[in-house]
Amino acid sequence: MKPEMPSPMIHFHKRAPRVIYLDNAATSRPKPPEVPAAMARFLEEVGANPGRSGHRLSIEAARVVYRAREAVAELLGVADPLRVIFCANATYALNLALRGLVRPGRHVVTTGMEHNSVMRPLRALEAAGTGLTVVDCSAQGVLDPAAVERALRPETIMIVMTHASNVVGTLMPVKEVAEIARAHGLLLLVDAAQSAGALPMDFESSGADLLAFTGHKALYGPTGTGGLLIGRRVDLAGFEPLTRGGTGSDSDAELQPEFLPDKFESGTMNAVGLAGLEAGVRWLREQGVEEIRSREHRLTARLLEGLSEIRGVGVKGTGDASKQLPVVSFTIAGLDPGEIGLRLDNEFGIAARVGLHCSPATHQTLGTFPTGAVRLSLGAFNSASEVDHTLRAVQELARDADNGACRT
């Protein structure tokens, strides 16, 4: 039997001393206790540089890195662990894929629901001579795959899309777009920063060619971990690394190794972080991705239903928990999102994120640009009582706004 997730004691009063953490889309909190324990154990008992020496501690450090690689491969459905490339975060992984494969004169298609980790490197490539088409989505953040196909050109090389919106959690039609990409001989790069670990995933059968993930969100590892999954259709010979340097392999050569994962992993690895990532992934598998997803679905539905019943509250996205991750954004008529977030924190002990969420394209799609919205994002450790407390807090704020009151 899996243990029940703990929840903090809730006191519905001003200046609540405990924090109800609803910012899991930024990073999951808390981490399972196994994660800091694994990191402390690495520092205390290993603490060496993986792959750089032949002594037992360096060998053990390399084992830690490889075990993390195997754990991620098993969870995300990658047949060859060497095709799991580790880097600092999903942003680096996306830049690696885009800048390593896209050349001036080629064309890329993306969507109006992308994070700046996709949009900013794409705009930089556009400025350097790459064609770019941003496909519009509905005001609820839904993408029509047929619109992606209509945007293709003879010079198109890649389609880039998020798997799930970081603003409203909308699940995107990755498999349908993957079929389009395959039919036209194109690469599909998926930004799975929000979805890796939050949904059952099989990279090999997804149709994606490249998938960027982060370790510190739904994989429950520490910050500073993430990576890129590289499929077999990707031409490695034409795939340029972002960095070149020491890899601990082919040390007699001054050229970068061409084999995986070394081609894309220069410099000392974040071994202590990867020890924590492995622990987070192992914990996730023990709990069960589907079981956590089911629990989060129920809480998301509870939150969406409650918010929709509060006068003056506008819920963004589909409003359907089955079509999104546990990421919910809303506005309150008459209140700035910044004020809402401040009051949620100061008066009710609720940690939320406000503003544009590093995703202005998404907010333009949703109609919330430039002020943004308030985002509540649930995780494995949240409870129904926390959702109910949050709904009462939002109701009080909406009532104040309706009455013309303003407090700080």
Give the burial class of 230: count Cβ atoms within 10 A of its Cβ; 0-12 exposed, 13-18 middle, 19 or more buried. buried
Q: What's the gap between Cα 262 and its chain centre?
A: 24
* Helix, strand, or coil (residue 54): coil
Cβ count within 10 A of residue 367: 11
Active site residue 358: yes
Interatomic CA distance for residues 24 and 350, integer angstroms: 12
Identical fold between 20-32+288-402 and 34-286? no
Find, among 173, 153, 169, 151, the residue nearest to 161 by Cα: 173
pLDDT in tens, the chain (408 residues): 343 444 444 444 455 558 999 999 999 999 999 999 999 999 999 999 998 889 999 999 999 999 999 999 999 999 999 999 999 999 999 999 999 999 999 999 999 999 999 999 999 999 999 999 999 999 999 999 999 999 999 999 999 999 999 999 999 999 999 999 999 999 999 999 999 999 999 999 999 999 999 999 999 999 999 999 999 999 999 999 999 999 999 999 999 999 999 999 999 999 999 999 999 999 999 999 999 999 999 999 999 999 999 999 999 999 999 999 999 999 999 999 999 999 999 999 999 999 999 999 999 999 999 999 999 999 999 999 999 999 999 999 999 998 875 444
Confidence at residue 219, expressed as pLDDT on a 0 to 100 scale = 98
For residue 310, how far is the Cα from the chain centroid?
29
Quote the pLDDT of residue 5: 45
Exposed, middle or buried, 105 (CB in 10 Å: 0-12/13-18/19+)? exposed
CATH number for the segment(s) 34-286 = 3.40.640.10
- Helix, strand, coil fractions of the chain, as percent rounded to 5: 40, 15, 45
For helices 289-308 and 271-287, angle between their N-to-C axes, nearest 10 degrees: 80
Q: Which of 59, 56, 303, 286 is nearest to 169 (CA)?
A: 303
Catalytic residue among 87, 137, 358, 406: 358
Of residues 2, 5, 7, the one with CA closest to residue 387? 7
In this prediction, residue 16 carries a pLDDT of 52
DSSP character for 343? H
Q: Quote the CA–CA distance of 344 and 347 in Å, as a whole number.
A: 6
The residue type found at 35 is V
Q: Is the pTM value of this prediction over 0.85?
A: yes
CA 355 to CA 352: how far, in whole Å? 10
Residue ranges covered by each domain of the chain:
20-32+288-402, 34-286
User: CATH topology for 20-32+288-402?
Assistant: Aspartate Aminotransferase, domain 1 (3.90.1150)
